[in-house]
Structure 1
Amino acid sequence: MNSQTDLAAMLCSRLCHDLLSPVGALSNGLELLADETDAEMRAQCMQLLEQSAKISTDKLKFFRLAFGAAGGFGESVPVEEAEEVVTALAADAKRVTLNWAIADATLPKPAVKVLLNLSQIALDALIRGGTLDIGAERRPDGNGRNNVEIVARATGDRIAFDETIGKALQGEIDPSDISSRTAAAHMIALLAEEMGGGLQYALSDDALVLGAVLPEAEGMIG
């Protein structure tokens, strides 16, 4: 991969992959509903449609903030918007306890992109359930500006993490290893680099810790 076009294609592949299951369930539910005459079965079909529609909507809201331009917001995004989409994804994953620790009411839009993508990576690692802790805070850098420090910590009985994603986060991935699976990590690594910051991760048998330090642009109010 050697161009922004290739990265965009990889991200589109990721989005299509993530939406295929809930949208497919919507299609199947509509087919069943069209042929079913039993009232109880039709009620079950409606329940399936409602669940699939909610999951699809939750994912689209996440994609809008995590990958898109997040139109409708200014330079900062309300933290409650980010919390809403992560809470929905954690609920869809099931068996995941979510803890949220962010004091600020808003965060810069690039920081929210990084936070959401780190949260998704951490959530994906909890294949048997567990706890997802998400935190962020502004800290002075000593030069009259703030750094936004972000952490997403996944703990559970089994952590599934492809360290190729870790290499992508740290900007150490070989271009040939960038795929739809690693594209999001590569994207936020590029974003962090553009901001003058960086990403890091630490992995153990029962925990995955993902972190970011992102300098705020001049003129941003903490």
Structure 2
Amino acid sequence: MADGNGIDYASLLCSRLCHDLLNPVGALNNGIELLADETDPSMREQCMGLLGDSARVSAAKLKFYRLAFGSAGGYGETLPAHEVRAAVEGMFALPGKLKIEWLVSDDSLAKLSAKILLNLALIAGESLPRGGVLMLGMEQVDGAVDIAVRGEGPRLTLDADIRRALAGTLPEAEISSRTVAAAMIRQLATGRGGDVILSDTTEPFIMFGAHIPA
């Protein structure tokens, strides 16, 4: 990324979104082509099932990215907490793969805090390719916000460049569609006078913390 301006970030986020939607949308296209040529009732039923799965995955990803990357929710300053929770659960909806523990008691979340929470959840969830437990917590006290995301499971892997982007040590020229969400989290937090904290690499889990002052 050349200069770190808003257009650069938007371009990289769009690239990330398109990359993640390519598989489910491609599966929809392939399923429709198969369905058009298939005459066996049982095979057509299987095709319909695959089409339904691909459509649900595509819709869940779009809903998540709308909140995590976009300006969803109109012009208000907050988002309903249940909508944010549903977006996370839909993003990682494969049965038995990843257990979501929602530890947020507030009924509404400030948009900035919700965006940071969602993107930290995305990074933590993708660091658990074999599943595990993803815990999401947030506390608001006197206008200040503390966010915590913890991931634990087998084959836990956090990309080194994503870690550097969260820590603010990845040069802007090296930010890519793979690391832009982490860089955005850092920018959002520090832009409000806050900070992002990461667990040590020696720990058997990953934990991200973000503090946004009042």
TM-score (norm 2): 0.94
Q: Distance in 2 between matches of 1:137 and 1:211?
A: 11
The letter for the 2-side match of 1:65 is: L
5 Å-filtered alignment, 1:4-43, equals 4-43=6-45
Deviates more, 1:62-71 or 1:87-96: 87-96
Percent identical? 47
Q: Deviations over 1:76-106 (max 9, x none)?
A: 1111011001111221385211111011101
Q: Deviations over 1:27-50 (max 9, x none)?
A: 000000000000000011100111
Q: Per-residue deviation at 1:71?
A: 3.6
Q: Residue 109 of structure 2 corresponds to which residue in structure 1?
A: 107
| Structure 2 unaligned regions, length at least 5 | none
Structure 1 counterpart SS, 2:120: helix
What RMSD in Å do the two structures reach over aligned CA positions? 1.4
Q: Residue 172 of structure 2 corresponds to which residue in structure 1?
A: 175
Q: Distance in 1 between matches of 2:141 and 2:185?
A: 20
Q: Residue 78 of structure 2 corresponds to which residue in structure 1?
A: 76
The letter for the 2-side match of 1:190 is: Q
Q: Deviations over 1:36-81 (max 9, x none)?
A: 0000000111001110000000000001100001143610111101
Query: In structure 2, which of residues 190, 193, 207 is the aligned counterpart of residue 209 of structure 1?
Result: 207
Q: Distance in 1 between matches of 2:107 and 2:72?
A: 17
Q: Distance in 1 between matches of 2:202 and 2:112?
A: 28
The letter for the 2-side match of 1:13 is: S
Q: Distance in 2 between matches of 1:92 and 1:172?
A: 34
Q: Distance in 1 between matches of 2:69 and 2:7?
A: 14
Q: Distance in 2 between matches of 1:48 and 1:123?
A: 24
1:196 has 2:193 as partner: yes
The letter for the 2-side match of 1:185 is: A
Q: Distance in 2 between matches of 1:188 and 1:208?
A: 16
The letter for the 2-side match of 1:137 is: E
5 Å-filtered alignment, 1:98-177, equals 98-140=100-142, 146-177=143-174
Q: Per-residue deviation at 1:176?
A: 2.5
* Alpha carbons 2:73, 2:79 under 8 Å: kept: no
TM-score (norm 1): 0.91
Deviates more, 1:3-12 or 1:46-55: 3-12
- Structure 1 runs of 4+ with >4 Å offset: none
Deviates more, 1:207-216 or 1:24-33: 207-216
CA gap 1:73/1:82 in 2 versus in 1, 3 angstroms: farther
The letter for the 1-side match of 2:152 is: T
Q: Deviations over 1:11-39 (max 9, x none)?
A: 11100110001000000000000000000
